[in-house]
Structure 1
Amino acid sequence: MKAVVLKAYGDVDNLVVSEMPEPKVGPGDVKVRVTAASINPVDWKIRRGDMREYMPLTLPTILGRDVSGEVIEVGQGVEGFKRGDRVMGLVSAGYAQTVVAPSDVWAKVPDSLELKDAAALPLVTLTGVQLIEEQMKPVQGDTVLITGALGAVGRAALFAAKARGVKVWAGVRARQVEEARKLGADGVVALDDPKDVAKLPTLDAVADTVGGEAVAAVLDKVKRGGLVGSVVGEPKGARDKGLQVVTFFSHPDGRRLAQLGESVAKGELRIPIGKTFPMDAAKDAQKHAEKGGAGKVLLVN
């Protein structure tokens, strides 16, 4: 099969399209012909070597954490999936023509969702939802601010927080405020405008999806003993201010992913698609995604 292989840490020129052995199906596995994979910040951080201390790799390796496609084979003992099913999943080695992963990471794609677009969902939706539901666990009546609320992870976190009866503030840049008002949050704040930040009420918690200056701007608004949950590492100075901090990496969960796919299909949660590239243009796709911008970037076979 063809796959996009990272041959060494560095810039995008270290991504090459190569022939790789077909992954084999073992007991409990599902093999999928990949329709699309999505590009996430973790992909280019791994490529550059930023993550080697936490996620050491044996190079060369295939990048890519989430895919969508059609089931072409199921392993012994697999129930609930059959050849031809449209699925999506949080996997490893997704920049490829085929992927094998345990059956419990896969979720069926709702009929009303375009299969390639489903590749945008697994990592970002599970990350945002798990941050709220499994790590922070806010309760009804809490006031929680989400940084990067217009990003894909931020949108998922906001969706999960609202479902728990939480009062949610969407934290964005000043130029994004009008767009953020469409998210359905209880309030919107420009995190790069100190006067706007000063108007925030006391916060019970912050769900941080972007890090840096965005979360630093609101730490003083969190009550003492309040919580900062982050998917991008511990914010500097948070513990010095008497705050609790939780950081985590998302994990596969096919059952929850199936529910989130239904929410997207119903229009309850929206993860915008920015641009699509062919799989063999992964260099250009990562370069484009790394510049930032609205919407997920997809690689399509």
Structure 2
Amino acid sequence: MRAARIHQYGDANMIRIDDLARPAPGPGQVLIQVAATSFNPTEAALRSGMLRDLTPTELPLTLGWDVAGTITQLGDGVPAHAVGDRVIGMIGAAAAEFAVADATAVVAAPVTIPLADAAALPLAGLTAWQVIERAGLTEGERVLVNGAGGGIGGFAVQLAKRAGAWVIATAGPRSTQAVRRQGADHVIDYTATPLADAVDGRVDVVLNLVPLNQAQATAVAALARPGGRVVSATNVIVAPSGVTATHVVADNDPVHLAALVGLVDRGAVTVDISERRTLDDLATLHRRSEAGDIRGKIIIRP
């Protein structure tokens, strides 16, 4: 099978398409024929070595955290799935034609969207779900989603609206219409207006989904009212006195993922695919991401 791997940390030139033997599932595992993985900007940080202390890995490493595909083989002791099941999950090593996953880590894929498109859901959707959950939103609260034009942001806007929040979203010009379709009540073009000038008064909750330097993090946290909350999926943010700050790292929770699938199938959450590419495009996507040229979720077929 073909797989996108790195043999050492470095720039995007380190990504190679290797020919490997097809893996076999062990006890409690399933073998998935991959319909697609999706691109997540944190994979560029992983490839560069920036995350080597946070997520120790052995090289060579097959890229791709998200998977959507069809189970083709069961390991011993897997009663919950069958060959032919269409599944999604956040598993790792999914940028390949086949991938092995723990059976408990994957759930039934949505039936109302193409299987490949469902690869956009696991990491970004789970991160958004858990950010919203940690924020403890209540109906009528004013929420700022900083980074609404990204893959996580699109889901965060939709989930915040489902919680009854009034959503202020930051997005660049190319993402504005998509963010409005996802339910944002007010969209701020961060490329044209300083955030502090554009937000009308302080908000109840700040959801930060983009990497920030210290000055930016301080400025964003200052937009939360006294007694408000700041929840960040990137930086650890130190909030001002009287404001609660929380850092969220996505947990691979199949219960949360199955709930997201249910929302997609009921039409309550949409999956916005900005591009569809192949493994051969992966190095280019990494370069574009590092240059800030990625919007929304990009599907990658083997």
Q: Shorter-chain TM-score: what band?
A: 0.7 to 0.9
Inter-CA distance 242–122: structure 2 relative to 1 (3 Å threshold): same
Inter-CA distance 112–119: structure 2 relative to 1 (3 Å threshold): same
Partners of 1:188 and 1:216 in 2: CA distance: 21
Secondary structure at the aligned position of 2:222 is classed as: helix
Summarize deviations over 1:262-289 as a string: whole Å, max 9, x none. 4334443233222223224422333344
Partners of 2:176 and 2:99 in 1: CA distance: 39
Summarize deviations over 1:17-58 as a string: whole Å, max 9, x none. 223344332332221011111111111111111212212222
Partners of 2:228 and 2:269 in 1: CA distance: 27
Identity score, percent: 32
Greater shift after overlay, 173-182 or 146-155? 173-182
Alignment partner, residue 259 of structure 1? 259
Which one of the candidate residues 218, 221, 225 is aligned to 1:219? 221
Aligned Cα RMSD in Å? 2.5
Alignment partner, residue 182 of structure 2? 183
| Alignment map for 1:3-22 (pairs within 5 Å) | 3-22=3-22
Alignment partner, residue 166 of structure 2? 167
Task: Provide the aligned length of Structure 1 versus Structure 2.
Answer: 298
Q: CA deviation at 1:196?
A: 7.2
Alignment partner, residue 57 of structure 1? 57
TM-score (norm 1): 0.88
| 8 Å CA contact retained: 2:149, 2:296 | no
| Alignment map for 1:78-93 (pairs within 5 Å) | 78-93=78-93
Secondary structure at the aligned position of 1:69 is classed as: strand
Partners of 1:203 and 1:279 in 2: CA distance: 41
| 8 Å CA contact retained: 1:37, 1:67 | yes
Secondary structure at the aligned position of 1:104 is classed as: helix
Alignment partner, residue 106 of structure 2? 106
Summarize deviations over 1:60-114 as a string: whole Å, max 9, x none. 1111100111101123332332111111111111111211112222122233311
Partners of 1:28 and 1:272 in 2: CA distance: 33
- Which residue identity does 2:299 align to in structure 1? L
Partners of 1:13 and 1:87 in 2: CA distance: 31
Summarize deviations over 1:93-138 as a string: whole Å, max 9, x none. 11112111122221222333111111111111111111111x2222
| Alignment map for 1:222-261 (pairs within 5 Å) | 222-235=224-237, 238-240=238-240, 242-261=242-261
Alignment partner, residue 294 of structure 1? 295
* Runs of 5+ unmatched residues, structure 2: none
| 8 Å CA contact retained: 1:271, 1:295 | no
Secondary structure at the aligned position of 1:212 is classed as: coil
Does residue 148 of structure 1 match 2:147? Answer: yes
Partners of 1:239 and 1:196 in 2: CA distance: 15
Does residue 45 of structure 1 match 2:45? Answer: yes
| 8 Å CA contact retained: 1:273, 1:297 | yes
* Runs of 5+ unmatched residues, structure 1: none
Partners of 2:72 and 2:118 in 1: CA distance: 18
Q: CA deviation at 1:195?
A: 7.9
| 8 Å CA contact retained: 1:131, 1:231 | yes
| 8 Å CA contact retained: 1:28, 1:76 | yes
Partners of 1:35 and 1:17 in 2: CA distance: 17
| 8 Å CA contact retained: 2:90, 2:105 | yes
Alignment partner, residue 276 of structure 1? 276
| 8 Å CA contact retained: 1:73, 1:83 | yes
- Which residue identity does 2:109 align to in structure 1? V
Inter-CA distance 278–245: structure 2 relative to 1 (3 Å threshold): same
Partners of 2:176 and 2:85 in 1: CA distance: 40
Partners of 1:199 and 1:55 in 2: CA distance: 36
TM-score (norm 2): 0.88
Partners of 1:55 and 1:104 in 2: CA distance: 21
Partners of 1:26 and 1:8 in 2: CA distance: 27
